């Protein structure tokens, strides 16, 4: 576990996501050789209460609060659930999933997948894998060895700054995650994935509505106000045709 996460992350999935207090604004001077955009990013990080709270709680990233808030609202993760976390690094969502399904107590299971290396985490199985690669989904299915109750995805391709290109890239990542979810979810399962605010592609939305009883768009409070980031939340997986027929 990284230096930041050596503190006991206990209650990573706690229902309380309140901040410890208001921070004083920290101004960052532009350093020689550092781009202005980098300086602004660093200043935003230093003044972000979720970043500070994540460090206090021993969470690996502020993104953990996004999943907490989504789960608090929609009640997605239950004790004993099997969860696949796509785009997991550095592990904020994984920590929340481990806590809420009871993986540390042997009641649930969390499989975390990312192209980047990820520090080991008690209660989670970690796969270093490019999920966009050919047959990557097959490798994850082998590691899973059965059905999942939830597929959660915070995957996102690097942004280009071109609005339409970035939109298409993130829709593609969502489609990959959805195709995988349809293959591995147990009836009644749930799916959460990152999209961009402003709506989901019609084809993707149609696929979600066809396969799930309810589909919502959510922007948790922990998602920065100036970000177009949002999440699609689908619940009540209807099951595949072969679930009823018994076919392989």
CA-wise closest residue to 183 among 138, 143, 246: 138
Residue 89's Cβ-side half-sphere holds a number of Cα atoms within 13 Å equal to: 16
Name the token pair of 196.
């961009």
Q: 54 and 92 in contact (C-beta within 8 Å)? A: yes
Q: Measure Cα distances from 50 to 37, 205, 210 in Å.
A: 20, 31, 36
108 CB-contact burial (10 Å; exposed 0-12 / middle 13-18 / buried 19+):
buried
Q: 211 and 182 in contact (C-beta within 8 Å)? A: yes
Whole-angstrom Cα distance, residue 38 to residue 227? 16
Is 223 in a helix, a strand, or coil? Answer: coil
Kindly give, in sequence order, each residue whose CB lies less than 8 Å from that of residue 175, ignoring residues fewer than 6 positions away.
204, 207
Active site positions, annotated: 194
Whole-angstrom Cα distance, residue 45 to residue 80? 35
Is 46 in a helix, a strand, or coil? Answer: helix
């Amino acid at each position: 576990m990284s230096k930041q996460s050596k503190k006991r992350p206990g209650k990573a999935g706690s229902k309380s996501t309140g901040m410890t207090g208001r921070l004083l604004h920290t101004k960052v001077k532009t350093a020689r050789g550092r781009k202005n955009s980098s300086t602004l990013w660093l200043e935003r990080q230093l003044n972000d209460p979720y970043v500070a709270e994540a460090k206090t709680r021993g969470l690996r990233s502020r993104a953990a609060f996004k999943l907490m808030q989504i789960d608090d609202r929609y009640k997605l993760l239950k004790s004993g659930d099997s969860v696949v976390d796509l785009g997991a690094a550095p592990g904020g969502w994984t920590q929340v999933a481990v806590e809420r399904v009871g993986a540390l107590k042997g009641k649930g299971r969390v499989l975390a997948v990312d192209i980047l290396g990820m520090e080991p985490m008690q209660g989670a199985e970690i796969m270093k894998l490019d999920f966009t690669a050919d047959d990557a989904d097959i490798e994850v299915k082998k590691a899973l060895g059965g059905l999942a109750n939830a597929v959660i995805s915070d995957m996102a391709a690097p942004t280009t700054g071109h609005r339409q290109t970035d939109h298409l890239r993130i829709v593609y990542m969502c489609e990959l995650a959805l195709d995988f979810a349809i293959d591995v979810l147990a009836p009644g399962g749930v799916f959460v994935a990152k999209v961009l605010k402003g709506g989901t592609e019609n084809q993707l939305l149609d696929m979600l509505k066809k396969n799930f009883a309810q589909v919502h768009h959510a922007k948790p409070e922990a998602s920065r106000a100036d970000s177009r980031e949002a999440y699609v939340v689908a619940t009540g997986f209807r099951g595949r045709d072969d679930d009823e027929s018994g076919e392989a």
